[in-house]
Chains A and B, each alone.
Chain A
């Protein structure tokens, strides 16, 4: 099956057809995700956050990743989730808010990627000496609550497959950070599954027709690629992530909206139609 999206510039009726197909597929994907119920056990927020960091590190190929949370009293960042070979070594470290890439991202509220990070004398040395790992590339984005408060920093290290983290990586990790913020905030929020699905679909509505067509096309390609692409296994893992979140109660359902919204945000930010599997590369 081809993963090429339909050509742009279609008519309004074509756009309507695409939109309807997209909505159908989205509902089907939600149903499939719920039915899959792959991970069985309940998924407390800690596990969800761990899954989010792992999913981000797969989507933006990186062997190391971490979610750091702001401790405003102690003026430090603590490692809440760490994945990769250095996880055990850095889990109990604290990063002063006054230094390093993560500290900078937390206080500035701006995402940042650096290369030649070992030349940054303060970030690399202190953490690296303890972890035994000296990253060449770092991508860090703020995890921001809906009210704008910076809750923490989501960070990936050592981009694989290309020399540095690029603007698309930054945007995509920002979408994962938005999900992480929703999980972190979940105890404050209550909503029904219907509202969730409605909100997710509403978030995908109201877009310019060309963008809607692109989303529909890319979603179609995405679904097709699940069956044919060698990366299908990773796709299923992401679907399982959705299932895990969506099937575990109101708070988790809220996080599921985050997943869908982040995907939509990523697609919205992709100016030209391309292969639908980009998200997973």
Chain B
């Protein structure tokens, strides 16, 4: 019996023995080999495309280095969008700061500046969403979003984009907002939401057993790249987020076929509060290793 031509719900085809590919598993349960060494040792994030959806990136800043691609998005009076792929700079320093942190952790990743923050609040949510869509449609492998919107009318649009990113296997690393109330896309389950913790080690991050905010990374008094080649000290979830994005870039540099939820699983298993022994635990628990178990919240 022949299969009728034309569009049809063919989801089952993907699971046919002839077409179902073999997958590499992550060594989560096979004797405790899921370690930070496995995850990203030796990886510099080489070749991984990281979009910084922000205020632009200043490629002349010594902490940033080369920027591999640009797009500046703006909305006109009627909300029509314009896309300018010429090199641009950073109006505020914020995107440069995020890029510098990512570069510090993943020095050989490819940075793409998706500039969506301008001098206007009109169309802000639309431009932000357009930047995210550009990143999804242009082969980005990690997106850093140190910005958010609380506009409830954008809930659906950002949810759709977050799902699209998931299906394209692109982790969205999003700054949580300290203020109560909605914050998109950071509150969606599919993104990696990040808040600042007080740690100083750039590779030290924690997993939160009570989401929505899933990860904590350095964001207090962080030395960051800023305007005109300067460096300032700053505090905010905005700067915690690129720490996680940088580690994800390194992880994907070594394990490019991980899915978004595998990335989350690895990060949770390797979080400092999962890896490091509980100070109250009995002696003999090894530090710096994961016993191959998911941490119990």
A276 CB within 8 Å of chain B: no
Determine the distance from Cα of A109 to Cα of B238 in the docked complex, in whole angstroms: 10
B179 CB contact (under 8 Å) in A115, A117, A141 = A141
Per-residue CB proximity of B210-234 to A under 8 Å, as 1/0? Answer: 0000000001110000111011111
Q: Are B181 and A146 in contact (CB under 8 A)?
A: yes
Interface size class of A (residues with CB under 8 A): 35 or more
B180 CB within 8 Å of chain A: yes
Q: Are A177 and B238 in contact (CB under 8 A)?
A: no
A146's nearest neighbour on chain B, judged by CB, is: B181
Q: Chain B's nearest CB lies how many Å from the CB of A96?
A: 6
A108 CB contact (under 8 Å) in B122, B147, B154, B231 = B147
A201 CB within 8 Å of chain B: no
Q: Chain A interface: which of B75-83, B112-120, B243-251, B286-294? A: B112-120
Which of A110, A114, A174, A265 has the most chain B CB within a 10 Å cutoff?
A110
Determine the distance from Cα of A121 to Cα of B90 in the docked complex, in whole angstroms: 13
Which of A106, A112, A147, A171 has the most chain B CB within a 10 Å cutoff?
A112
A147 CB contact (under 8 Å) in B122, B152, B179, B238 = B152
Q: Are B221 and A110 in contact (CB under 8 A)?
A: no
Q: Chain B's nearest CB lies how many Å from the CB of A62?
A: 15
Q: Are A97 and B226 in contact (CB under 8 A)?
A: no
Q: Chain A interface: which of B17-25, B39-47, B91-99? A: B91-99
Which of B54, B232, B238 has the most chain A CB within a 10 Å cutoff?
B232
Determine the distance from Cα of A129 to Cα of B91 in the docked complex, in whole angstroms: 20
B116's nearest neighbour on chain A, judged by CB, is: A107
Determine the distance from Cα of A75 to Cα of B179 in the docked complex, in whole angstroms: 24
Q: Are B94 and A104 in contact (CB under 8 A)?
A: yes
Q: Are B55 and A108 in contact (CB under 8 A)?
A: yes
Chain B residues near A111 (CB, 8 Å)?
177-179, 236-237
Determine the distance from Cα of A175 to Cα of B93 in the docked complex, in whole angstroms: 26
B177 CB contact (under 8 Å) in A96, A97, A109, A116 = A109
Chain B residues near A146 (CB, 8 Å)?
181
Sample 13 A-B pairs with CB under 8 A, ordered by A number: A75-B121, A97-B121, A98-B119, A104-B55, A104-B117, A107-B118, A110-B177, A110-B236, A116-B233, A119-B230, A146-B181, A167-B178, A170-B178
Could you list 10 further interchain pairs (A-B, Cβ under 8 angstroms) beyond the known A98-B91, A119-B232?
A98-B119, A108-B54, A110-B146, A120-B230, A120-B232, A142-B179, A147-B150, A147-B151, A164-B235, A174-B179
